[in-house]
Chains A and B, each alone.
Chain A
Amino acid sequence: MNASRPVLPVAGALAAIGIWWGATAVFGIRPLFLPAPPDVVAAFRAQPGYLLCETGATLLETVTGFGLAVLLGLLIAVTLTASRTLERAALPVLVALNSVPKVAVAPLLVVWLGFGPRPKVVLVLLICVFPIVVATMAGLTSTPSELGELSRSLSASAWQTYVKIRLPWALPQVFTGLKVAVSLAVIGAVVAEISNPSGGLGAVVVLSGMSFDTPLAFAAIVLLALLSTALFYLVVAVERLLVPWARAIAG
């Protein structure tokens, strides 16, 4: 079981690449429509510096936006769960805001914030912050009644209850929110780059599309997928480090 864990996903990825490659060869698909894996590799090797530089730009926007979303999201959740009344008043507003397709705001952000990296960071922030707020609020309000009674019977202060019981109890749910958010983060960055192609891998996709350089667009997309996967597993690694007990009690 443990030994096969890293083997299976790798086998799955290799199989998918194999099918992709086989299809392009068997059906004779032209690289303009669907480049084969070697074409994509060649596109990358033609200008690795450029692609890595744009990857770095996307990474920076994503990580900055995500980091700000974590700070802001935790702050909002902690504030809103400070009182029951506040929480009940805020939740419908949050749900309504969350259902706004943030992607549609991308062009407006350019109007408001200009052409630099700022509108991109802000879009990532907007997309990431809601799942973090909602998950953290759920975690902070799900303290089991027997633990609440325990802290009451120990005459714990509100602060002690928060720090020693409610906050650690919420952590597994916080991480559920973080994993959702980090998966959306790269999408946010790319959408912002596509609506404002001044840099980043999203811009590479737009520009290569305009010049019919499909292999280059694919190289950018593959880099985006790798970036997103890496960030996701980074969050998973931090989760395992900080809340090793969460998986044990869930399982």
Chain B
Amino acid sequence: MIGLDRVSRTFPTRDGEVTALSDIDLRVDKHEFVAVIGRSGCGKSTLLRLMAGLLAPTSGTVTVDGAPVRRPRADVVLMHQLPALLPWRTALGNVMLPVEIRRLPRADHRVKAAELLDAVGLTGFHHRHPYELSGGMQQRVALCRALIQQPRVLLMDEPFSALDALTREELATQLQAMHMSAPATTVFVTHSIAEAVLLADRVVVLSTRPGRVRQVLDIALPRPRSFGHSAHVAEAAGYVAELHDLLLHD
């Protein structure tokens, strides 16, 4: 579904070129959930921007469904680290923004937007403005705004990193449920090893400067997974330890 072939990306800066990503080969299959972890500055956001068509690779090719990505596609949706909501729009209005911009039928999508907001636990908050919502609620609105576009590929850039630990767990669990009921091909960038192990089929570990694929780890745990007690606590802990070592001894 998504393919990166020998992809590199450099940025010109005042003190010469910075190589953000170097020689990345990566394939993400249809309906697969891939987590990407790595230290800050290792090129995770750059990787997503390349897949989203917001950035062109310096060398190599990025393809979606075999076609090179040259500009943002309607079926590939990027969810930014910040909620990036419009402060003058209500929660519902924010979810409707892509519908308006893409000139999709409004009435049908309004119903769908309301359903999505209900599904992420925002019943009763449809007509609130972002400043009346907590950080976690804002991020849920941003998730609904991504989902209303019915993405075939969902790219998420540390979507929960600004939230407190419990809210993160709650949202990650919700995301798992959504992925199980209606799987979109997902690339999920995170700092959190536990989140990666909870959500991913595969975890891609990037090394720092330049960002390269250090290792790809398959997470062979049955779903639904949980952060707390389950029959597979020991195996999950094993994956967490392995990823931890990979990140620490970079």
Contacts and interface: CB of A to CB of B under 8 A. Distances in A.
Nearest to A247: B131
Nearest to A242: B88
Contacts of A164: 86, 97, 100-101
Interface stretch (B3-11, B71-79, B182-190, B216-224): B71-79
B54 A152 contact: yes
B80 A155 contact: no
A146 B131 contact: no
Contact of A153 (B77, B82, B129): B77
B88 A243 contact: yes
B102 interface: yes
Contacts of B84: 144, 146-147, 149-150
A155 B74 CA distance: 8
A245 B72 contact: no
B72 A152 contact: yes
A156 interface: yes
B98 interface: yes
Contact of B98 (A144, A152, A154, A168): A154
B121 interface: no
Interface of A is mostly: helix
B86 to A, nearest CB: 7
A160 interface: yes
A110 interface: no
B54 A149 contact: yes
Contacts of B74: 155
Chain A residues touching B, range: 20 to 34
Contacts of A168: 86, 88
A168 B89 CA distance: 10
Contacts of B129: 245, 248
Most buried by A among B71, B84, B88: B88
A153 to B, nearest CB: 5
B131 A245 contact: yes
Given A149-B80, A153-B52, A249 B131 contact: yes
B67 to A, nearest CB: 16
A153 B78 contact: yes
A156 B88 contact: no
A21 B93 CA distance: 56
Interface string B124-137: 00000111100000
Contacts of B97: 154, 164
B87 interface: yes
B86 A165 contact: yes
B54 A153 contact: yes
A139 to B, nearest CB: 13
A157 to B, nearest CB: 8
A150 B131 CA distance: 19
Contacts of A171: 88
Given A149-B54, A164-B97, A249 B87 contact: yes
Interface in B155-192: none
A141 B243 CA distance: 43
Contacts of B53: 153
Give the top 3 A-B pairs by smallest Cβ distance, nearest first: A146-B84, A248-B131, A153-B72
Interface of A: 144, 146-147, 149-156, 160, 164-165, 168-169, 171, 243, 245, 248-249
12 contacts: A146-B80, A147-B84, A149-B78, A150-B80, A152-B72, A153-B72, A153-B78, A155-B74, A164-B97, A168-B86, A168-B88, A249-B87
Interface of B: 52-54, 71-72, 74, 77-78, 80, 82, 84, 86-88, 97-98, 100-102, 129-132
